Amino acid sequence: MKIFLPILLILSISLAKDVPFKTGESLKYSAEFNLIPVGQAELYVSGIEQIQGNDAYHVSFSAQTKGLANQLFKIRDQIDIWLDSKELYTHRLKKNIREGSYRKSVDITFDYDEGVARTNTKDVKINFTARDPFSMFYYLRTIQLKEKEIMSFTSFEGKNIVNYNLQITGKEIINSPVGTFVCKVIRPFRKGKNLFKNQGDMQIWISEDARRLPVKIQIKMKFGSMTLLLKKIN
């Protein structure tokens, strides 16, 4: 969904030694808006592919409405990313967004040797390694998260380059259909501004166990709150 799509680029953090996910991992989520079930979403690691001569995890995110929500405002979003197999930065991002009457397709390839991000319509000079919001979930699973730590990152979604921060704000216990987890709470934010144009506020809960799962994602906005909660792991 558009509200999940700012591309995130996290800087100045060392990677943990082990990667707590593997090819074939599927994380399925229930989606609620103001506590009303509206659909489902999935993060899926389909395999390792070659992108510009680099081994990359192919990760897909899909989101669909269901029931009455499907009739009122149909959503069929598909986002594919290719993450560097060692450092988990983004080599390619492909989005196909279908939300009501809104349509958007984006295909960005990051050429780090040339320092260029190539989109459908233009080339943009870059001097950073990119991490979109979904690669962020996987990247956060590989690092030690320190409470109150603020991490700086930059976003690029095919239009503008924007500076953001992440802060670990504390711990919470989250109950989900797949179990109860002690989680670190992570809040992305912009200096002096809300993360989203509609004045939304986002939080991510990452489990403290060995799998470091993104258990819950919540976005609060003027008109309500959208919550993704982990319901199935394959």
Identify the CATH number of the domain in which residue 193 sits: 2.40.360
Helix, strand, or coil (residue 214): strand
Helix, strand, or coil (residue 107): strand
Q: How many structural domains comprise the chain?
A: 1
| Length in residues, the chain | 234
* Count of Cβ atoms closer than 10 Å to residue 116 Cβ: 15
pLDDT means per 10 residues in the chain (234 residues)? Answer: 39 48 94 91 94 93 91 91 90 91 91 90 87 78 82 72 81 96 88 50 90 90 83 96
d(CA 92, CA 69): 31
Task: Determine contact, residues 52/82, Cβ cutoff 8 Å.
Answer: no
Q: What is the pTM of this model?
A: 0.84
Q: What is the DSSP letter of 6?
A: -
CA distances (Å), 227 to each of 35, 55, 95, 108, 164, in order?
8, 33, 21, 27, 22
Helical spans, DSSP H, in the chain:
67-72, 133-140
What is the structure's pLDDT at 121?
86
Element at 136 (helix H, strand E): helix 133-140
Residue corresponding to tokens 């943990």: 16
Write out the residue range of the structural domain in which residue 35 sits.
2-233
Helix, strand, or coil (residue 147): coil
Task: Determine contact, residues 215/176, Cβ cutoff 8 Å.
Answer: yes
What is the structure's pLDDT at 198?
40
d(CA 230, CA 74): 22
What is the structure's pLDDT at 84?
92
Q: Give the tokens for residue 214.
A: 């993104």
Task: Determine contact, residues 171/163, Cβ cutoff 8 Å.
Answer: no
Task: Determine contact, residues 210/182, Cβ cutoff 8 Å.
Answer: no
What is the structure's pLDDT at 3?
42
